Amino acid sequence: MTQQSKSLSGRIALVTGGSRGIGRAICTKLASLGATVYVNYTSNQAAADETVKLCQAEGVQAYAIGFDVSDSAAVDAAIERIQKESTKLDILVNNAGISKDGLFVRMKDEDWQRIMNINLNGAFYCARAAARLMMKARYGRIVNMSSIVGEMGNAGQAPYVASKAALIGLTKSVAKELASRNVTVNAVTPGYIETEMTDVLDAKRKEELMGVIPLGRIGSPNDIANVTAFLVSDDASYVTGQIIGVNGGMYM
């Protein structure tokens, strides 16, 4: 390994929703660059343990940390645990997210609230708890996983889209507040990425999506992990409050 390929050596990272999909790819990428990784999950411990193994195979320490991001007290307790065990938290990737599609006029209150609680409130709770440590340390990197649909809108996904658009506003506001403490806050807006979340789309919808991606392929979780790894690196020290599209050109 070259010096450069271990650019995150000594860094402590928490990735929410790190057990599967995009989150798993981010965990293993950060591990490959030398970071200690806390892999968050909420229900699927076996998947989180598998991600931990993949990280450890990169020669770093990694831990599964189960908590529901929409539970403010559980988030605070988890960040406290990380501080006790690792003395600091350098990198937070707010990746955990869910979607439940349906027509806006038929959307149930509980579905709306659940999506907001996890996708938006969860990112707020985690960022707030992490920021307290990062501000004291005068160093931090926060990346919020928004979505292309938060920029474009999308029929049939009103609560998901609203939560992802709100994450963009949260990113910019918090970036302004934390900049003086050397804490950067950015958002990534993935396009159509092959994970369990998009597996549920029917063949016709998948074909339609492929037709509007100029680069002509579905994105992979690694496409998102690579950009996230840049944003949390020292190379991105002058990048904050930015919304980075990783979508094959689907939205420009």
CA torsion sign, 209 to 150 to 132 to 5? positive
Active site residue 125: no
Question: Which of 52, 78, 98, 236 touches ligand NAP by CB under 6 A?
Answer: 98
Q: Which stretch binds ligand NAP (CB under 6 A): 91-99, 102-110, 176-184, 207-215?
A: 91-99
For residue 36, state whether it binds ligand NAP (rule: CB under 6 A): no
- Residues 166-195: x/- map of binding to ligand NAP (CB under 6 A)? ------------------------x-xx-x
| Three-class SS state of 157 | coil
For residue 16, state whether it binds ligand NAP (rule: CB under 6 A): yes
- What's the DSSP call for residue 9? T
Q: Which residue has the tokens 């804490």?
A: 183
Q: Which residue has the tokens 């963009």?
A: 168
In the bound state with ligand NAP, the residue whose beta carbon lies nearer, of 60 and 69, is 69
Q: Among the options 38, 41, 160, 192, which is catalytic? A: 160
Question: Which of 69, 82, 134, 225 touches ligand NAP by CB under 6 A?
Answer: 69
Q: At what angle do helices 45-56 and 21-32 cross, to 10 degrees?
A: 20
**Separation CA 54–CA 165 (nearest Å):** 32
- Residues 43-62: x/- map of binding to ligand NAP (CB under 6 A)? xx--x---------------
In the bound state with ligand NAP, the residue whose beta carbon lies nearer, of 86 and 222, is 222
Residues 6 or more apart whose Cβ sits within 8 Å of residue 54: 24, 27, 28, 31
- Whether residue 22 contacts residue 195, with contact meaning beta carbons closer than 8 Å, is answered with yes
| Three-class SS state of 64 | strand
What residues act catalytically? 160
Where along the sequence are the contacts to ligand NAP (CB under 6 A)?
16-17, 19-23, 40-44, 47, 68-70, 95-98, 118, 145, 147, 190, 192-193, 195-198
